Structure 1
């Protein structure tokens, strides 16, 4: 969790008034990369959202929303638990921090919970938590979601180019660009930036996947050849070293493939390729164990 905390501290630094998108993105990447990330991140975020420093709390809410958009289903499952929702409710409740939390932070928290009831209608606990806030009079009326918050998290549907297929975003963008209000134009600007960034990240992911899969198949092929020679006891000293290096590299590729598979939820073909590469890798590692150990 050390890396997670480090990036979160940078992303929510109260002395920096602007959002630090690079650190926010790094935090999200870390949540995805760490096996414990999705369960640990909400706890760290809750602590920051409850900060008495308004800027820190607002930054933390931006980080939370970015994670909801980018960190996948395991993260969604964690924030939909009462354990996390209660931490958000404490910011609003006069029994806890509601009396001294700033209005700005409280309205952002209300907005966040309300937007989730819209985006995740299947999550009963979120709806229950929100209804309870209304019943207790802590939330008087449903907030109006700001223009640039209308976008629900990307749905897990296969997409070609983000610009072609995300009709909702394109419609929203067209509407914002027609507006004469400066806030709308700022929202449009943010939306364009996020769409471009998404597109870049998507192609970076694809090339990482292609490169990893091709490295796996080359290594597997080379290892197979060397193992055949090893069985026939025709391996030179330098070939033995090469075999050892390949073995170590293949060991390192395993967790990499595993991570790629967990990131590739929206593309069945790509996932099949990754799993196939993983099978080849496991087979060659098994053969190495048999041949070299015997």
Structure 2
């Protein structure tokens, strides 16, 4: 199996393009799972993903079959938020168009059409309370496009799990999450604007936190390098042979290194540990 290093900031569209690329010789599960994970990370992941999947399902046979495999993976890994999008007529009608000769059916391969029929049937079994899914499947039956129910083992992993919680700073604060949910449910334009403002502010706060961590890591690396250099300088230090400039340089480096760590460590315990770790005998 090949080992991949996925770049951060990869978009849903980029994940899906790689997962369904026409030149793929087989399903590329690294990118399929990457697409699923990205859906769970984004606030509007399911909505965006469904629109992208529709376009791929309407493509050539191999690309469409790969997209249907991705869709199955999303149903297993992306929870209730994704299931809710799939259960809308807007999406289900797109699947019907692929199968129905009134739309695309005559130009679509049997493999793709049969795969869609099997998936719809399995969803009617796993989600018996989703009337729109059942209605979509019955529509195909009424049109004579499904003669009998497919014989297949229903995948129990599709059974609904607790809602997937997006990995987004907006949802980390429980009180803020409740307030945001109330604002988003409101039909008042001012409430929706306020919700949008809250989301933007919290995302900015999270970005600032990430930048702060990155800066701290860089400082730690600098401190580590200085400590190594100081240790090497001290190991070769000879009071009788070293010049005043050498002693002053060691003093300055030791002082700056200690100050850098002290600034980073807010809790007293960490300050004490850092100062103890960096304690270097001052040279006179």
Give a deviation string over 1:71-129, Cα, whole Å, max 9, x none.
11111001000000000011101011100100000000000111100010010000011
In the alignment, which residue of structure 2 is the partner of 1:113? 120
1:31-110 equivalent positions in 2, closer than 5 A: 31-51=39-59, 53-110=60-117
Q: How does 1:199-214 map to 2 (within 5 A)?
A: none
* Residue pair 1:90, 1:98 contacting (<8 A) in 2 also: yes
Show the 5 A alignment for 1:244-283: 251-252=205-206
Give the drift of 1:27.
Answer: 0.5
Higher-Rg member (1/2): 2
The TM-score normalised by the length of structure 1 is 0.52
Structure 1 residues 68 and 108: alpha-carbon distance in aligned structure 2, compared to 1, 3 A threshold: same
Say whether the 8 Å CA contact 1:119–1:152 is kept in structure 2.
no
Aligned to 1:22: 30
Which residue is equivalent to 1:245? none
1:34 and 1:255 map into 2 onto residues whose CA distance is 18
**Whole-Å separation in 1 of the counterparts to 2:155 and 2:104:** 28
Tell me how far 1:133 sits from its aligned partner: 0.8
Confirm whether residue 7 of structure 1 aligns to residue 15 of structure 2. Answer: yes
Q: Deviations over 1:41-100 (max 9, x none)?
A: 11110110111x211000000000100111111110010000000000111010111001
Number of equivalences = 167
Q: Does 1:137 align with 2:144?
A: yes
User: Which portions of structure 1, spanning 4 or more consecutive aligned residues, are displaced by more than 6 angstroms?
Assistant: 253-256
Which residue is 2:156 aligned to? 151
| C-alpha contact 2:127 2:159 (8 A) present in aligned 1 | no
**Per-residue deviation, residues 16-60 of structure 1 (Å, max 9, x unmatched):** 121100100110111111111111111110110111x21100000
Partners of 2:90 and 2:58 lie apart in 1 by: 14
Distance 1:127 1:154, change over 3 A: closer
SS of the residue corresponding to residue 27 of structure 2 reads coil
What residue ranges of structure 2 are gaps of 5+ in the alignment? 1-8, 174-201, 211-284
Give the C-alpha shift of residue 151 in structure 1.
2.8
RMSD (Å), alpha carbons = 3.1
Q: Which runs of 5+ in 1 are unaligned?
A: 158-207, 217-247, 257-294
Q: Secondary structure at the match of 1:66?
A: helix
CA distance in 2, matches of 1:128, 1:139: 13
